[in-house]
Chains A and B, each alone.
Chain A
Amino acid sequence: MKSIIAQGLVKTYRNGEVRALDGLDLDVEEGTVLGLLGPNGSGKTTTVRVLATLLTPDEGSATVGGVDVVKHPDQVRNMIGLSGQYAALDETLTGWDNLTMFGRLYHLSASATKARATELLEKFSLTDAARRPIKTYSGGMRRRLDLAASLIIKPKVLFLDEPTTGLDPRGRQEMWQVIDELVKGGVTLLLTTQYLEEADQLADSIAVIDAGKVIARGTSDELKNQVGGERLEITVDASHLPRAVELVKQVAGADPIVDTGLRRISAPVNNGSDSLVQVLRLLDEAKIHPLDIGLKRPSLDDVFISLTGHVAEIEAEVVTGKKKRK
């Protein structure tokens, strides 16, 4: 069964000048995670806002949990959770105040609200901070509380709009863990992100969105194959360069690209970590110590260039102006 279905969604701004959504089709199987991957201004947030009943599409239709989002928004609101790009909380209030407020607004009884707030604070490691104003929270804590607020009713369908944008690496890791656990609980999740790595980590299936349309759909492996696999990159001392090139060629089976100036060798590899270990061993035997060694994975830019032929950045600039306040 499909938990989310969107068909031909169109949303324009400024009298049709900007087409934020341009015939977007999407579906998410119940209990799975779809990563909606795209740069700023590609229509990710607009998609989420339409599905979460915040925005009425100009054309097209969408159902969440089998209910039409335009015709029966209230029914939809009773089964979704939404956590946006910004922590949408009352900063002057404490974490506890916020959660209990949202609990009451979801029409839970006072005792059920308290029980749920306690449970969620515990789950997101915020119990100690519960009585402090949100103002004093770190970015990661705010996001976790924001997520907790969207889970108060145990939603069937959860929308997370760029849940880790702006977080430091540690905050991102923490957030990923939390989301991962949620998903194990069986919720259907639509997650938007600018990071291929994030979609890779969390999503069962990825839809790449550009200029308001889904332009590619598949698992992360499928997409990466489309983009091209990983590359092995090694930097060595100039004197060791010729020997190292030979060793890399041996492992990669193809002629590596050599940048003499940077003393860097780069070659496509199929089974990344195995090749890495192999090369390291060979280098070690040859008494060559690499200055830097690693696997370069395809980035969102790589995906974009390969799928659309243009760089994500340019698109982003045109539309940021319209990205209006929340």
Chain B
Amino acid sequence: MKQAIGDFLVITKRQLLQMIRIPEVLIFATIQPAMFVLLFRYVFGGAINSGVSGGYVQLLMPGIFVQTVAFTLAATAVGLTADMQKGLIDRFRSLPIARSAVVIGRTVGDTLQNIVTLVVMGLVGFAVGWRPSSGPVKILLAFLFLLAFGYSMSWIGILIGLSVREERVAQSLVFLTVFPLTFLSNAFAPTTGMPKILQYFAEWNPVSTMVAACRELFGTKNIFGATANSWPSQHPVAMSLIYMVLLVVVFAPISVRKYVKVSAK
């Protein structure tokens, strides 16, 4: 067990070293969400009547945070596919290391990169008027919540990464999964404008519950969500936790098994 932890730390360290060796990747990974903050803030901010004090940016920031961490799985999937193509995964599999070390190391490494991204986004948000009002403890809790959500989503990335053979395919698959999730939600606009059936989807969508939970933790009234008095919209924090546990419980074992067998085809 101690050895297994050592193995996974080595793999995590590799991810962090990559960050240092090619800082451009992290820089661009950070610029993009920062750009989204600015675009949404000034494009939609003027058009959407938010009705909360402090304006649209208060509602927007939790939405963008969640979208960004949800996209962690892109890095996870693409990175893993690349490793497989290069034969690196084969080499790892020929080493006497714990079977889960490589995939756990990658999910943790990608999550650590998120810390940097979230800090930069938070600062940009602050610069354009975002003012969380719930106090330091809850704010910190919200960020931890975001990291945990990104972590659990990255397990989907592991499965995608192990299932495809081309980096570009992995990328497309991620977009097809994550974009609908983030837009069929309360992240950027009220769900009330959607067709009824999509409203229900949006209500139960993990991205919505996460955004609602973050709004709650940052101290903003979630006026984009409550279309129905459904359980998830009433208990966003609890529902989000359930989703995270579900994601890990379902995808982690499948992914580890897939990793073990990946080249047995």
Contacts and interface: CB of A to CB of B under 8 A. Distances in A.
A275 to B, nearest CB: 45
Contacts of A80: 94
A54 interface: yes
A37 B165 CA distance: 28
A89 B21 contact: no
A133 B84 CA distance: 19
Main SS class of interface, A: loop
B47 interface: no
11 contacts: A49-B90, A55-B263, A55-B264, A80-B94, A82-B91, A82-B94, A90-B88, A93-B18, A106-B96, A324-B165, A326-B84
A77 B95 CA distance: 5
Interface string A144-171: 0000010000000000000000000000
Contacts of B95: 77, 102, 105-106
Contacts of A105: 7, 10-11, 92, 95, 97
A89 B83 CA distance: 9
Contacts, number: 86
Interface residues of A, number: 35
B96 A78 contact: yes
Interface of B: 3, 6-7, 10-11, 13-14, 17-18, 21-22, 83-88, 90-97, 165, 263-265
A92 B92 contact: no
Given A105-B97, A106-B96, A54 B88 contact: no
B82 to A, nearest CB: 9
Interface in A76-114: 77-78, 80, 82, 84-94, 97, 101-102, 104-107
A74 interface: yes
Q: Which of B86, B92, B96 has the most CB of A within 10 A?
A: B96
Given A84-B90, A105-B92, A325-B165, 17 more contacts: A13-B265, A54-B90, A77-B95, A78-B96, A82-B90, A85-B87, A86-B87, A87-B86, A87-B87, A90-B14, A102-B91, A104-B6, A105-B95, A105-B97, A106-B95, A326-B87, A326-B263
